[in-house]
Structure 1
């Protein structure tokens, strides 16, 4: 096991956590200011690229000596980001592009919160964490609440997009879309 430092994290874990905190802050700011995460805003681009970096640095963390659920979540997150970026450019999804973009980028935002709660609650307070491990039933309940919040958030975004309100212009429509 690698030597640990701040909060029991390796150097890579510390960098990974710092980058993920920037991504979460950018995602929150984008959702509150722009009502969506999109590559058409600086906050959206910051969220997407720091989320990519979060995933890539996460692939180097092997807390349990091999590929695990967090690595699978990183792959799923990268796929959601790719779908969101393609949709945001008006590729492949035609008139549904803005909805797909909202769903995909919001999913990648949700995916930050699952390991955030897991790592925080199984590490802190130091020496006596609130939960014993990542399989604690409380984490399943938290994930359920996060899913409901995601569905509410996506529903609000879709409603806003359908109503044509908001200051963000629609994705460009490509020929043949």
Structure 2
């Protein structure tokens, strides 16, 4: 279905679970919390999605999707470490929250490309990663994520200034 290999289908299934969990947390809490059940589902499904991406070469060899998988894994590691160790001091809540949100944006780039170069079947919306229409959509999604991250940073700052925890524990 949709020209997916078994690895592609597994990759896609984990990515969908990660996206649902990530967006559910954003809508419910305004942030992805790596400690909640949905947060752990987001974290581990994102890791599996990144790792399985390394075996997918639909567009030839190593490409931007593989680079995004590496960047996502690094951002996840920083977000988790910021929560567990507070190695960045007062910046740790920012690194954790904004790191998780950044990984959600990283999901969207190949997700939009891979979905809408296949759907609707027989008449996909985009021709490939270089399609100008896709680039415009990704630009809008990027702008929305910048706004989300600015709101998150503002909420952390506001919470810290009032003496409250910057986010639920």
Q: What is the TM-score of this pair, normalised by structure 1?
A: 0.87
- Answering whether residue 25 of structure 2 is matched by residue 54 of structure 1, we say no
Q: For structure 1, which runs of at least 5 residues remain unmatched after alignment? A: 1-5, 170-177
Q: For structure 2, which runs of at least 5 residues remain unmatched after alignment? A: none
Matches within 5 A, 1:84-123: 84-123=79-118
Q: Matched residue of 1:7: which SS?
A: coil
Measure how far apart 1:167 and its partner are: 5.9
User: Runs of at least 4 residues of structure 1 off by over 3 A?
Assistant: none
Q: Distance in 1 between matches of 2:56 and 2:18?
A: 18
On the 8 A contact 2:18/2:46 being kept in 1, the answer is yes
With CA pairs under 8 Å and 6+ residues apart, which has the higher RCO, 1 or 2?
A: 1
**Residue-by-residue CA offset, 1:60-112 (whole Å, 9 max, x unaligned):** 11113311111111001101101111111133210110011111110000011
Measure how far apart 1:158 and its partner are: 1.4
Count of aligned positions: 164
**Residue-by-residue CA offset, 1:7-53 (whole Å, 9 max, x unaligned):** 11111101110110000000011111222112222211111110000
Matches within 5 A, 1:1-177: 6-164=1-159, 168-169=168-169
On the 8 A contact 2:156/2:167 being kept in 1, the answer is no
Q: Distance in 1 between matches of 2:10 and 2:34?
A: 24
